[in-house]
Chain A
Amino acid sequence: MRRPDPKIVRWGILIALLVAWELVPMTGLLPELFLPRLSKTLTVLWIDLDKYWAALLVTLYEVVLAMVIACGLGIVAGATIGGIAVLRDLLLPVFSSLYAVPIVILYPIFTAWFGIGSQSKVMFAGIYGFFPVMLSTAAGIRTIDPQFLLAARSMGATVTQQITKVIIPASLPTVFGGLRLGGALAIIGVIVAEMLTASAGIGYLVTLNRTILDSPRVFAGILCILVLSVAYDIIARRLERRMVVWQSAGRRQQQASPRPIAQGAPAPAAA
């Protein structure tokens, strides 16, 4: 008997989980306090839709700003540090050492400095996303085939032309990867911050409802966040793939050391 298509199995698992979400609390296997029924969660979400929507807007606003910081600074810093050998040797090891420190411990500093409003979230999530994006960009810059510059020079390209017509197009895959990563991390950073200390936003709603033990509303918030992050990921990946159809060609093979977490693939989500 042929095995079913993995895609179908995946959807099957997803549907099974949703069904379980509805049935398990109903049968009392788990108390409703731990896991409210899916229908109840959705109902409550519908009732309080305007509240959740307002919170979502606040969160999105913070995410966008944080993303601008994380990606803007991250990509520029990464390209510069990765591209200039001296800076690379000097700074890159320092930054990857700093990566070991849980950035979240800095958050109280941000709230002390910027208050519990949006500003502290934006700053925190911006920094949160900055390091991985920078490291990823720095690594990506190095995969650009140096032959390209040689070929361009042989055709008489000036330095400016080399930058605009070769380096920039060749770094597009890296840049788009950085954008995707930065956005994902911005979302995570903002949510964590909102859950810790905030006055508005989806994360804040979740925490608020937890303290009053309103499980359905807690899970409604969790659902919103799930949808937000998955939707972002899908869109970002699709965009990335479309923008860089030629990605596999023309890049030097990555060397033997696998760095599955820190660079390349999924956004390292510490939260």
Chain B
Amino acid sequence: MQYVADMKAAQTAGAAIDIDRVSHVYAGPEGGVQALSDVSMKVGAGRFIVIVGPSGCGKTSLLMMMAGLRDHTEGRIHVHGAPIPKPDPERVGVIFQEASLFPWLTTFDNIEFPLSLRGMSREERRRRSEPMLSLVGLTGFGERYPHELSGGMKQRVSIARGLVQDPPVLLMDEPFAALDEQTRMTMGHELLRIWSTTNKTVVFITHSLTEAVYLADEVYVMSPRPGRMIDHIMVDLPRPRTYEMMATDTFGRLRDRIWQQIRKSH
């Protein structure tokens, strides 16, 4: 099957993200708490990976580790062949559930924020942020403030900000969770468009099984704490994805499989 061949190709090319037997124990009020247990993942370059799992399973922690924002007690995480002990926005862009746009900055300033940290000149920054703005479909909103934007628009700005330094990897932690369902669906579609244009490697976390199947090339299912990978599902739906695919049998079967796995693991 085509996707298996793609997968093998990705593996031989060297994984973009290589997570090898990562575990994490942190100090809790009553002694050590195992957050992650022996998690392994190999993500091929340019793939769209989705991680689903119940609340508290550690998927956010795992993402934070991939971003260099958090430590792990055991195992190895490599992004593009090198470890990531601290944040590296040129390698990994992070998009959070709360857009976390700075309310005192305009849209342009928000997108350019990572660039301003590097001391880039104003003209250079604008040169890079303008295409980002149009990529996420917000041309003309550059001078607006976050409080003037809707939830969906704020997330688009957040995505633009994550992309502005052109990192090969994009990590997204339930970015659409705070949006209403209709906006969610639109945003998912938009995200796929942006992804296909830019060819990034995306790791996307969500609670929504529908969203997972709709967006992903591969879905990883995590168990409740301590988080382990209990299933790795290949989504063999053709691209580009359409809304109509959601009504197909294949879609339903894939979603059902994820749900069964999650139910079993409780």
Contacts and interface: CB of A to CB of B under 8 A. Distances in A.
User: Is A–B contact present in the complex under a CB 8 A cutoff?
Assistant: yes
Interface string A241-253: 0000110111000
Contact of A250 (B67, B96, B102, B161): B102
Given A147-B96, A250-B102, A153 B87 contact: yes
A151 B96 contact: yes
Interface in A108-157: 145, 147-148, 150-157
Contacts of B104: 169-170, 172, 246, 250
A249 B103 CA distance: 6
Interface in B62-119: 67, 69, 87-89, 94, 96, 98, 100-105, 113-114, 116-118
Contact of A161 (B94, B117, B145): B117
Given A170-B102, A172-B104, A246 B145 contact: yes
B147 interface: yes
A169 B116 CA distance: 15
A154 B67 contact: yes
A156 B89 contact: yes
A166 interface: yes
Contacts of B98: 145, 147
DSSP class of A's interface residues: helix, strand, loop or mixed?
helix
A51 interface: no
Give the residue among B104, B113, B116 with the most A Cβ atoms within 10 A: B104
B82 to A, nearest CB: 15
Contacts of A155: 87, 89, 94, 113-114, 117, 161
Nearest to B104: A169
Interface residues of B, number: 23
A165 interface: yes
Contact of B87 (A154, A169, A249, A250): A154
B97 to A, nearest CB: 9
B146 interface: yes
A155 B96 CA distance: 12
A156 B114 CA distance: 7
B42 to A, nearest CB: 23
B69 to A, nearest CB: 6
Contacts of B147: 246, 248-250
Interface residues of A, number: 23
Contact of B100 (A150, A158, A165, A172): A150
A170 B69 CA distance: 22
Contact of B102 (A148, A154, A156, A248): A148
Interface in B102-153: 102-105, 113-114, 116-118, 145-147
A166 B110 CA distance: 11
Contacts of B100: 145, 147-148, 150-151
B133 to A, nearest CB: 17
Given A248-B147, A250-B102, A250-B146, A154 B69 contact: yes
A249 B146 contact: yes
A115 B67 CA distance: 62
Contacts of B101: 250
A155 B90 CA distance: 9
A121 B9 CA distance: 80
Interface of B: 67, 69, 87-89, 94, 96, 98, 100-105, 113-114, 116-118, 145-147, 161
20 contacts: A145-B98, A147-B96, A150-B96, A151-B100, A152-B113, A154-B87, A155-B87, A155-B161, A156-B87, A156-B89, A156-B114, A158-B117, A165-B113, A165-B116, A169-B102, A170-B104, A245-B145, A246-B147, A249-B103, A249-B145
The 6 lowest CB-CB distance pairs between A and B, nearest first, are A250-B103, A249-B147, A151-B100, A154-B94, A155-B114, A246-B103
Given A172-B104, A246-B145, 17 more contacts: A147-B98, A150-B69, A150-B100, A151-B94, A151-B96, A151-B100, A153-B69, A154-B69, A154-B87, A155-B94, A155-B161, A156-B114, A165-B116, A169-B102, A246-B104, A248-B147, A249-B103
